[in-house]
Chains A and B, each alone.
Chain A
């Protein structure tokens, strides 16, 4: 039995997404920009998907731009806002954002932009008051994640939108890890832009969206054809879009029962592990947390060893920020939350999803303590140190 607990890395495809993909694939062709009937069918499908995605976050369909995924949406939001916002040079973010936010901002900093990175507290919460204090007449953009993908902490973004709009700065929310997993409403949040990622909610990778509020200025990043209302050139990824739309609709319909069910299982797993493992630490806020995510520091072992040992036992989890060639860098999120590099290296992320079952959680609650005992007896690392 394989138990998949890495839904924050990329969730299992929802059956609705698979059905939508199959429907479009079976038709075989169709470019939404074409005038003939195949093109018209494709356009109908694309626009249905756009409405479905818009509904997920309370947006209007024309405010949704399909992109290649969360990374493009985040890059696009930053680049598109700054090129449309004249001489303003200040960007405000936090130090725990996704790399697709932090990397472009680093480049901008080298080009002379003023980048303010707010540090979170030890729970991974960024103070909205601190953000608001930094917003001024020179601020071009505030960009913050709604849910941190590594620890699952939900941010309090209250009041930020009022302040940005009072100085005509743009407010972008990266909701890649939030969409479809908790109520997200662009009007309640008051943001001007929002990133969504499809593969976090049960559609394939390679498709995402950027919400841009009606009439909010944004310069296109990809130039070429007039697709997406001249805001993002390139023939649309129709297969991806219909899957995204179907998954978004399914996720929305499943709420709030799905979140409640997942939250109960996550809690059960945390209680069971905490009882079985002395010194186990839950990273991130207990109270303000997306129901599916557990980021745990296992005392005295390397996360890398735990991950491999668990995989060999059929349990698939993640370290948050490893790469395929095996260079394990301690999570920048945990470091920003004040954890040591050793603690970060001893941490694993377990993320449940729409198809996680009670039986799986019961099995994992037994497997993890057993594997931990073996790893810690075999490859002990001293508390407070890295590898010796």
Chain B
């Protein structure tokens, strides 16, 4: 009997092609689309009401065409408890969360894996652009995608050996253009569908509005101050800011000012001119290592990415106790954003990562 694989399908091109490739490779594919976000009450329900969700219908058509079973599952409660609540609390605490990392860790490679086992599957597959390699010693390596412009390994840093051993990323070795070509070849109707950019549960992109609706009574107003501590303006909530932000500060100064720091304890948003937006390193929490290599946690040179759309820069990584890590950039690096993931690479390989707690200034 061929191994059964649960493929997480969103209705998009990537997961559709991933499912089709596995089906063609002889796997016993079961397509699963996840109901994650609740219907946004403030938006028109016409586009995404019960029983008429367009994206799910696209996924369903792919499954019908390839003739493998497909189901929509309801994981709204888990998603709310394990991803959305965290998103809201992080913003309210003056941090900038990365819900996609959370969703991968909490939903796709944990909650969905439980479901996979429940339905008799041996693997979970997604349309992520990343590679998994198994070496001669049986260790699993998490690697950047062959198509570097699409690489999504950043979002997957928390995967453990156990999780990697039962995960398949069929798109890791091929280019996005090839994926689109394969989609057309397979007659997938969504071959030219535009890629989704927004966070799925905030379809209108208004994060501040979302946070305010979900955490109205926890919104923390405060001051906008400069590096010297002088008040430049007042703001209506820390959640409206992220490090590096320039627009919407509501201050008029000679030179352009950027958010350099958000002080969760006082509610102050510190702004500074561009040249002051740098840091010497960072402290990360909730750190995990992929564990493909023997490593004692001592100082080691890595390249680190502190935002998804950012080049990895050289740094020294030192693992601390209690799943912490200190990262020192070899030369001064960007201003880092608490709440975002920082991911450690060595060459093409993901060593591990964590969540940025704060910048190290010197």
Contact = CB atoms under 8 A, between A and B. Distances in A.
B117 A325 contact: no
Contact of A326 (B74, B78, B115): B74
Contacts of B78: 387-388
Given A304-B73, A309-B120, A324 B115 contact: no
Contact of A374 (B49, B81, B117): B117
B71 A305 contact: no
B118 A323 contact: no
Given A312-B69, A374-B120, A305 B115 contact: yes
Given A309-B118, A309-B119, A312-B30, A327 B76 contact: yes
Nearest to B28: A312
A116 interface: no
A326 B120 contact: no
A311 B73 CA distance: 14
B69 to A, nearest CB: 6
A378 B117 contact: yes
A272 interface: no
A309 B120 CA distance: 7
Contacts of A304: 73-74
Interface string A373-386: 01101110000001
Contacts of B120: 309, 312, 374
Interface string B97-126: 000000000000000001111111000000
A106 interface: no
Contacts of A328: 74
B56 A325 contact: yes
Q: Which of A311, A326, A375 has the most CB of B within 10 A?
A: A326
Contact of B119 (A312, A323, A387): A312
Given A312-B30, A312-B69, A325 B118 contact: no
Interface in A301-321: 301, 304-305, 308-309, 311-312
Interface size for chain B: under 10, 10 to 19, 20 to 34, or 35 or more residues? 20 to 34
A304 B118 CA distance: 11
A327 B117 contact: no
A327 B118 contact: no
B69 A311 contact: yes
B288 to A, nearest CB: 21
A123 B49 CA distance: 33
Given A311-B69, A325-B35, A326-B56, A379 B74 contact: no
B50 A327 contact: yes
A327 B49 CA distance: 10
A370 B243 CA distance: 53
Contacts of B71: 308, 311, 326
A312 B81 CA distance: 29
Contacts of A388: 78, 81
Contacts of B35: 325-327
Contacts of B53: 325
Nearest to B75: A387
Interface centre among B35, B69, B78, B114 (most CB of A within 10 A): B114
A375 B76 CA distance: 19
Nearest to A386: B77
Nearest to B78: A387
Nearest to B79: A387
Interface string B33-64: 10100000000000001111100100000000
A309 B6 CA distance: 12
A379 B114 contact: yes
B179 interface: no
Interface string B311-341: 0000000000000000000000000000000
Contacts of B33: 326
A305 B114 CA distance: 10
A14 to B, nearest CB: 28
A375 B118 contact: yes
Contacts of B115: 305, 378-379
B181 interface: no
Interface in A65-80: none
Nearest to A341: B77
B15 to A, nearest CB: 16
A308 B50 contact: no
Contact of B72 (A325, A375, A378): A325
Contact of B74 (A309, A327, A375): A327
A379 B116 CA distance: 9
Contacts of A375: 118-119
Nearest to B55: A325
Contact of B117 (A301, A379, A387): A379
A98 to B, nearest CB: 17
5 contacts: A305-B115, A309-B120, A325-B49, A374-B118, A378-B115
Report the 3 A-B pairs with minimum CB-CB distance, sorted nearest first: A326-B72, A378-B117, A328-B74
Given A312-B119, A375-B118, A379-B118, 20 more contacts: A305-B115, A305-B118, A305-B119, A308-B30, A309-B120, A311-B71, A325-B49, A325-B50, A326-B35, A326-B56, A326-B71, A326-B73, A327-B50, A374-B117, A378-B115, A378-B116, A378-B117, A379-B114, A379-B115, A387-B78
